[in-house]
Amino acid sequence: MRYLLIAVSILAALLLGLLVSPLLTPRPKPIEGLLVINQRIYQPQELEKRLRATPYHFNSRGELITNLIYQELLLQESKKQGIDNENEFLLSMRNFYEQSMIKTLLDRQYKDPVHDPNSAQIASCQPFLDKTFTLQRFDYPSYEAARSNTATDSEEFNLPYLDLPEDTRSALLNLKGGELSQPLLTGSSWFRLQLIDISQRPTSTIPSVVEQEELCRIELKRQSIQNWVDDLYRKSTIELPAELKERGNG
C-alpha cells in the first residue's frame, strides 16, 4: 500500500510539473521590427510587397497590416483543416491559375499595336453604326448540315448593328444583300445568317462621330484578336472524339 501511495505521489508531481512548466517558461521575445503571426515571419521586403499588392483601399498602414494579419490567420486555419490538400480546392486553384494566364495573355494582345485598326478600317466600319439590319437566321443540328444548308428552323429579326451579338457583327462586315454567312457556332448550336435589308436608324439614336470612331476601334480590335485566336486553332494539331467531329468542330 505504501508503494502505491509513493507511485501516485510521483505521478501527481510529474503532472503538476507539466501543467506549471508552460506558465513558468518565458515566451520567446518578438523579433523586433518584423511582423510575426504565430510561427509565420514576414521579412520587411515581403511585408512591403504584400501591402502594395492588396486590391483593397485602406485609410492607414495600420489597417493594411491588420487586414494582412486576419488573412494569415485564416490561411493558417485552412491549412490546419487540410483544405490545401483537398482535391476540390486543388482543382479550383488550377482553374484560377489557367484563367489568370489566359487573361494576362489576352490583355497583352489587346495592348499590342498590331491589333490597332488604321483610319481606313475605321472609316469602313462607321457606316454600319447608324444602320438597322434585317436578318434571317437559319438553325442547323450540325456543322455538316450548316455547310449543306439543310436548316431545321429559321426566324427573321432586325436590330441595330451595335445591339447584335459580337459573332454576328463580325459576320456582317463582309456580307452583301441576300448572301448567307459562313456557319457560326453559339454554345452548342450552329446557325447561318442571311442579310435581308439594311435601313437607316433614327437620327436621335446615332452616336456622334467621335463615339463612332471609338466604337469602331474597339470592335475592329476585338475582331483582330479573335482572328489571332482562330489562327492559333488553324495552325494546331487537334484530335477530337467522333461525337465532336460530327458537330463540325474537327
C-alpha span between 7 and 110 (Å, rounded): 80
Please tell me the predicted confidence (pLDDT) of residue 9. Answer: 46
Residue 37 sits at φ, ψ, to 5 deg, of -120, 105
The tens place of each residue's pLDDT in the chain, 250 residues long, gives 444 444 434 444 444 454 444 444 444 454 556 888 888 888 888 888 877 777 677 777 788 888 888 888 999 999 999 998 999 999 999 999 999 999 999 999 999 999 999 999 888 888 888 888 889 889 888 878 888 888 888 888 888 887 887 777 777 777 788 888 888 877 677 888 898 888 887 766 677 888 888 988 988 898 889 889 888 878 888 776 776 555 555 4
Q: What is the value of pTM for the model shown?
A: 0.58
Q: Which three cell numbers stand for residue 74?
A: 485564416
Q: Which one, of 202, 181, 200, 205, lies nearest residue 191 by Cα? A: 181
Q: Which three cell numbers stand for residue 194?
A: 442571311
Q: Which one, of 190, 130, 139, 185, lies nearest residue 161 by Cα? A: 130
Q: Which three cell numbers stand for residue 9?
A: 505521489
Please tell me the predicted confidence (pLDDT) of residue 31. Answer: 53
Q: Long-range pairs for 40-44 at CB < 8 Å and ≥24 separation?
A: 40/72, 40/76, 42/68
Domains along the chain with CATH numbers: 32-65 (no CATH), 119-246 (3.10.50)
Within 89-188, strands assigned E span 131-140, 153-160, 184-186
Please tell me the predicted confidence (pLDDT) of residue 63. Answer: 84
Cα–Cα separations (whole angstroms), residue 138 to 87, 144, 212, 213, 244: 44, 14, 30, 32, 21
